[in-house]
Amino acid sequence: MCWIKRTAVSDLLPQLAALLLIVSSAGAFGVDNKLSQAEIEEGWELLFDGNEIRHWRNFKKDGLNEKWVVDNGTMKLVGSGGGDILTHKSYRNFDLRLEWLISEGGNSGIFILVDEEGKFIFSHAPEIQILDNERHSDRKVDSHRSGSLYDMVASHPSSHKPAGQWNQVRILFRDGFLQVWQNGVKTVNVTIADSTWNTLFEASKFSSSIGTMFGDFEGFAEARSGHIGLQDHSDPVAFKNIKILELQ
């Protein structure tokens, strides 16, 4: 009986070896900051290749602040003062994918339709929030949690991950129709300038009827195209696998 068991185990050794080979080679697939051949053929563009920050500059500046660095294959803001950044290129309709990781207690954001006519990057650009939902004070407002269309549409809690973990975001924008997914969960589904949007807008801090210390946000979300932006909210934040597909 013991001999039979030993033989059965020995018979499994080739299969076990093959399994170990598969597991050990798994890292060869899905390499960070790389496009697959299929993505290249579809027309995807990397906005960060893991080695240098070529596609970005500071808001209203030609260059990039030294506090935005490459760190172990990520594009990272290492501290306050780096300034908000935006892509060199402007986009009209697009499918944007990226991953972000926020520090404990941190806050940041992803902007779309960025122009440089307002005083701040957020003067005209809608923001998809990045936040430590467990520690930052903005967690008290549902539409200020990560994955939300900031101050307008709240993300579902099932899309949230703790600080220190990577989050996947997809932003799909076509002719005013904005959809957002965070960690596979749809968090935003709105059309800019329709009646639902207008109601959300009027109740937000971006409405001229409310206004803030930053102004009345005249021209907010009115652009038909714009840059992609990333926010310096004085907290360390990292990004990787940033890629975009321009749509017709």
Is residue 141 very low, low, confident or very high in pLDDT (cuts 50, 70, 90)?
A: confident
Higher pLDDT, 73 or 21: 73
* pLDDT of residue 211 exceeding 60: no
pLDDT mean over 108-130: 97
Q: Is residue 2 part of a domain?
A: no
Residues 60, 66, 71, 74, Cα dihedral to 10°: 0
pLDDT > 90 fraction of the chain, expressed in percent and rounded: 78
Q: How many CB atoms lie within 10 A of CB 88?
A: 11
Domain assignment present for residue 16? The answer is: no
Which pTM does this prediction carry?
A: 0.86
Q: Which residue's entry shows tokens 């939300």?
A: 148
At 40, is the pLDDT very low, low, confident or very high (cuts 50, 70, 90)? very high
- Are 197 and 166 in contact by the 8 Å Cβ rule? The answer is no
Q: What pLDDT score does 215 carry? A: 66
| Confidence at 223, pLDDT banded by 50, 70, 90 | very high
Residue 21: what residue type?
Answer: L
Question: Residue 65 — pLDDT band, cuts 50, 70, 90?
Answer: very high
Say how many domains are in the chain.
1
- For residue 7, being part of any structural domain is answered with no
CATH number at residue 146: 2.60.120.560
